[in-house]
A and B are shown apart, each in its own frame.
Chain A
């Protein structure tokens, strides 16, 4: 993307993902969100002298899984480093992270832009580290509160190369990353709760020039806000260039209410942190066996699954995209088609009535009352013509949601929704209606073909809507034609 007056935009992302392990990365403290302040902290978390960190193997598993999903090279030796800085929410005075030997290197992810263009976004690395605590400034008071519950929560940091060019690409990348971590079950990816956080490095340059000073923007708690923050930053930097001013390399914070960014601090140089290898954790070797085991546990990933839904089940790309948006929806689809081969019909029902119901109730598919087999039964009734589509979606579906244990077919009978497929009964009704309208029959035979619609209406009225319209229409025409 070109900003105003021909500046090229360069964006790199740093995505922090909190891993959903039960305990923290270097201690047995509970890893959970929303508890009372300083509830989940032990001597290790608050860095009492003499305490030693012990690596949580599950966290390493999760980091490797993410690396495998993104096609990274997995480093066979796990080495941690200390990043030294002072902040009240960092009780040790340093963060245990990975500097020169991140657990995953390279790899990347393809996104499809609105214009249909595909773009591969390369990763620099993924590294493992611990989260810091949280400082809370109480507005109007002259002190800051510190909550260390979050200190020591395992994180992976996914770093992209500076290859993104538009806020749209950033949004697509984040949506895809979130989908993958949810498929892998390594995090809930909830940006609002902060279990996935994104910092954006934004700079602009004239085409062909070296990279401009990069500005890091923080504090975006939704994908939409990442887009807003990047857009604002592009405008701000372009304005500065326009006026011939210097863009400083700095960290800025996004204000979601105002939609702007404000300076927090000028950027530290890397050597300010005095990285050195963590002496309290000995290097750990990651062998073939370990990786093979994780590979075997890998689920089918959203992009693969989407391709399979298109190729194997013949779903349109749009349907496949919607159904694979959430793993649980995709699983529900797969469970349902275990009972029926009407793939497109299942897709229609999931994207239509089922989704509307979930949205209206504000629940996820896991809380959907109807089992996949029951939904398949309902579909079968429509397919066989036993129940009309309208009756199924407007009456039977709602009834089954209230009575999820009853059989679809019995419920249809109980609600009097079963369509009469018996040609004899339909024929009798047709004869009766035709007999009542001899003039109209004559008009039909004289060429007013449109009258079939009127006959159809009359017959359906008599049958109370419980007969198959297709069959009825065929019998009306047949009977009329036989009178020639």
Chain B
């Protein structure tokens, strides 16, 4: 067993070492991206790869305070997000962060520790309301100046848990529901976020900043949101763990929406354990989000009891085969990962297709999102107080037209426009599509799981990061997020390997409310194949 571990460790180091060595002599001269030598300095950071538990330990021992930790992360944001490799993952720092940290230190000194998140710095995606000095804009210039009156439900929970709200992260504008030629991680308010492993590469999206920031050790953990792939893809591409929970586990009130039926927030973290801790503090029934009522009896406030190294023993795992075959090196890493599952005692069952006729569903899916986006966004914007004064989707469209140069320098807004043309949620076209989409996806996963008595289904989360291209837009390389996204079922991605120094992840998805089981499987996999590495901020991939 030991030998095998070493082999895995060495082989992953090996894949990283190739570009690292090569770029030191091949970095394009005059590039303002740091050189490899500099990038070594970027990882001389006392809190590099710190876990929530290790930070908690340091605060308990009195080695560090919440204030000190907050200062260290703020300094790092200054050094590598705003300067150096300029990840540009943070759209706004919280001016109250240090005073929050002080308050929490005071409580600790008085013997009150709220829980595992006490004093832990967290950043959240810029589409989640914070009732403080920070704006909530989904990256859109049209929403510049929008300061929410109240915290989103999950942010209130986050504050209660004792977290230090350190700042907000950049995203694909409107959570990537603006144009089909968009560049993920780009927003008119925040600019382009970069991938910390290779900084001319795209961080995927739409939770781009949350993925890039947590991977680059700019904070302890982050929160992202997903409609279809927006947590798992940037998690995979930035080499971190991401949990897209069952829709309804975490309240969506106070989050700028795309889709009532698919949206959810979720934790992004460097380890499964950290993600599990953050997930537990965010759950709860919220009367403002009807989907959360179903979480009664299904939601837990602590998922750490599921961190079970031995969980793969006897587990039955379906391997969804159709998302394979996009890139032979991704497949190779996945096959090695499957080998690890097997060696840990899991039984693997090949599944060709989870949802029969899945291709027929992409069209209806877009339609459903457009209807729900219009309805949900109009409701959100009615209460917005942006400088531009936008109160509806049509106002946003008008604002973008009037400010074309700043708002739409690279791609347009055809999805905003087609959404605006949609009717209300009582239209037959919408009702038929949403019913069909949910029925087919829920049935597909449930039947697959029940027929083979599976604990989870796995598949590649996505391909390696593509180069940032604001001119032509994204270049996606496959993925497995749709079944879980459409059905509202949970999905977790865990780092599974590297391709040319770029991280890729493996997704575990399953039946509703099975977060505990998925966390245990993901954790056992992570422990058996510990491939996560701090990013090296390389200027480019050697060729």
Q: Does A193 contact B (CB under 8 A)?
A: yes
Are A34 and B342 neighbours in the complex by a CB distance under 8 Å?
no
Among A138, A221, A224: residue with most chain B CB under 10 A: A138
A145-B443 contact, Cβ under 8 Å, with A34-B451, A257-B514, A258-B300: yes
Chain A residues within 8 Å of B511, by CB: 139
A35 to B447, CA, bound (A): 11
Whether A141 pairs with B447 at a CB distance below 8 angstroms is no
The reply to whether B342 and A362 contact each other, CB–CB distance below 8 Å, is yes
Q: How far is the CB of B389 from chain A (nearest CB, A)?
A: 39
Which of B52-60, B96-104, B343-351 forms part of the interface with chain A?
B343-351
**Closest B residue by C-beta to A34:** B452
Chain B 475-517, CB-CB to A under 8 Å as 1, else 0, gives: 0000000000001110000000000000000000001111011
B136 within 8 A of A: no
B1 contacts A360, C-beta separation under 8 Å: yes
Q: Does A256 contact B (CB under 8 A)?
A: yes
Knowing A221-B453, A257-B517, A362-B343, the reply to whether A140 touches B442 (Cβ < 8 A) is yes
Residues in B whose Cβ lies below 8 Å from that of A484: none
Nearest opposing residue in chain A for B344, CB measure: A362
Given the interface contacts A221-B453, A258-B300, A362-B343, does A141 sit within 8 Å of B512 by beta carbon? Answer: no
Complexed CA–CA distance, A356 and B347 (Å): 18
CB contact list, B291-308 vs A, under 8 A: 300, 306
* Interface check A464, CB cutoff 8 A: no
Residue B438 lies at the interface, judged by CB distance under 8 Å to chain A: yes
A141 to B316, CA, bound (A): 25
Assuming the A-B contacts A34-B452, A37-B451, A194-B453, are A141 and B516 also in contact, with contact meaning beta carbons closer than 8 angstroms in the complex?
Answer: no
What is the minimal beta-carbon distance from B326 to any residue of chain A, in angstroms?
Answer: 26
CB contact list, A358-388 vs B, under 8 A: 359-362
**B residues in contact with A22, CB < 8 Å:** none
Asked if A136 is at the interface (CB within 8 A of a chain B CB), the reply is yes
A356 to B1, CA, bound (A): 8
A134 at the interface (CB under 8 A from B): yes
Assess the B314–A139 pair: CB atoms within 8 A: no
Is B63 interfacial (CB 8 A cutoff)? no
Task: Tell me how far the C-beta of B443 lies from the nearest C-beta in chain A, rounded to whole angstroms.
Answer: 5
- Taken together as a complex, chains A and B put the C-alpha atoms of A359 and B512 apart, in Å, by 32
A32 to B47, CA, bound (A): 54
Task: Check if B446 is an interface residue, CB within 8 A of chain A.
Answer: yes
Query: Which chain B positions have C-beta within 8 A of A134?
Result: 450
Would A193 and B343 be within 8 Å (CB), given that A140-B487, A257-B517 are in contact?
no
Chain B nearest Cβ from A82, distance in angstroms: 28
Partner of B512, one of A35, A36, A139, A258: A139
CB <8 Å contact, B443 and A141: yes
Residue of A nearest to B261 (CB): A140
Q: Per-residue 0/1 for B432-464: is the Cβ within 8 Å of any A Cβ (1 yes, 0 no)?
A: 000000110011001100111100000000000
Distance (whole angstroms) from the CB of B296 to the closest CB of chain A = 13
Residues from chain A with a CB closer than 8 A to the CB of B516 are 257-258
B300, B314, B342: which contacts A192 (Cβ < 8 A)?
Answer: B314
Q: From residue B11, how far is it (CB to closest CB) to chain A in Å?
A: 16
Shortest Cβ distance from A18 into chain B, in angstroms?
13
The answer to whether the Cβ of A147 comes within 8 Å of any Cβ in the partner chain is yes
Residues 343-359 of chain A, each 1 if its beta carbon lies under 8 Å from chain B, else 0: 00000000000001001
Nearest-CB residue, chain B, relative to A149: B451
Contacts of A362 in B (CB 8 A): 342-343, 345
Measured between C-beta atoms, what is the minimum distance from A355 to chain B in Å? 12
Determine the residue in chain A with the shortest Cβ distance to B346.
A362
Given A34-B451, A139-B512, A258-B300: A360 touches B314 (CB 8 Å cut-off): no
B401 interface residue (CB < 8 Å to A)? no
What's the Cα separation between A362 and B349 when bound, in Å?
A: 14
Contact A192 B343 (CB under 8 A): no
Residue of B whose beta carbon sits closest to that of A361? B343
A221–B439 alpha-carbon span in the complex (Å) = 27
Q: Assess the B438–A192 pair: CB atoms within 8 A.
A: no
Q: Which residues of B contact A194 (CB under 8 A)?
A: 453
Is A40 on the interface with B (CB-CB < 8 A)? no
Chain A residues lying within 8 Å of B517, measured Cβ to Cβ, are 256-257
Which A residues are CB-close (under 8 A) to B442?
A: 138-141
Flag whether B4 is at the interface (Cβ < 8 A).
yes
Q: Find chain B residues with CB under 8 A from A98 CB.
A: none
Provide the residues of chain B in CB contact with A360, threshold 8 Å: 1, 4, 343
B345 — nearest CB in chain A belongs to which residue? A362
Contact status A37-B447, CB under 8 Å: yes
Q: A257-B513, A360-B4 are in contact. Are A141 and B438 (CB under 8 A)?
A: yes
**Residues from chain A with Cβ under 8 Å of B443 in the complex:** 138, 141, 145
Q: Which residue of A lies closest to B516 (CB)?
A: A257
With a CB–CB cut-off of 8 A, which chain B residues contact A37? 447, 451
Contact, CB under 8 Å: A136 / B438: no
Identify the closest chain A residue to B316 (Cβ): A192
Taking CB atoms and an 8 Å cut-off, the chain A residues in 313-367 that contact chain B are 356, 359-362
Task: Identify the closest chain B residue to A135 (Cβ).
Answer: B450
Residues 243-300 (chain A) with a chain B CB within 8 angstroms: 256-258
Is A419 part of the binding interface, using a Cβ–Cβ cutoff of 8 Å? no
CB of A222 closer than 8 Å to a CB of B: yes
In the complex the two chains form, is B488's CB within 8 Å of A140's CB? yes
A 221-235 to B, binary, CB cutoff 8 A, 1 in contact else 0: 110100000000000
Shortest A217–chain B CB gap in Å is: 18
Contact of B314 among A36, A222, A356 (CB under 8 A): A222
The answer to whether residues A140 and B512 also contact, given A37-B447, A194-B453 and a CB cut-off of 8 A, is: yes
Closest to B315 in A: A192
In the complex, which residues of chain B have a beta carbon less than 8 angstroms from the beta carbon of A258?
300, 516
Interface residues of B in 278-333 (CB under 8 A from A): 300, 306, 314, 316
Give Cα A221–Cα B4 distance, bound, in whole angstroms.
Answer: 30
> Please, how many angstroms separate the alpha-carbon atoms of A140 and B441 in the complex?
11
User: When A257-B514, A257-B517, A362-B345 are in contact, do A141 and B4 touch as well, CB less than 8 Å?
Assistant: no
| Alpha-carbon distance between A221 and B316 when the two chains are bound, in angstroms | 11
Bound-state Cα–Cα, A224 to B313, Å? 11
CB distance from A72 to the nearest CB of B (A): 30
Q: What's the least CB distance linking B57 to chain A, in Å?
A: 28
Query: Nearest Cβ in chain A — how far from B179, in angstroms?
Result: 31
CA distance A145 to B511 in the complex (A): 15
Q: How far is the CB of B7 from chain A (nearest CB, A)?
A: 11
- A257 contacts across to B, CB distance below 8 A: 306, 513-514, 516-517
CA distance A258 to B513 in the complex (A): 10
Q: Contacts A192-B314, A257-B513 known; A136 to B450 CB distance under 8 Å? A: yes
* Max chain B Cβ within 10 angstroms of own Cβ: one of A145, A257, A361: A257
A59 → B minimal CB distance (Å): 23
How far, in angstroms, from A210 to B276 measured CA to CA in the complex? 46
A189 and B101 CA atoms in complex are apart in Å by 56
| B314: chain A residues within 8 A (beta carbon) | 192, 222, 224
What are 12 A-B pairs at a CB distance below 8 A?
Answer: A37-B447, A138-B443, A139-B489, A139-B511, A140-B487, A141-B439, A192-B347, A256-B517, A257-B306, A257-B516, A356-B1, A359-B343
Apart from A35-B451, A140-B438, A362-B343, what 10 extra A-B contacts exist at CB < 8 Å? A34-B349, A37-B451, A134-B450, A138-B439, A138-B443, A139-B513, A145-B443, A147-B451, A356-B1, A359-B1
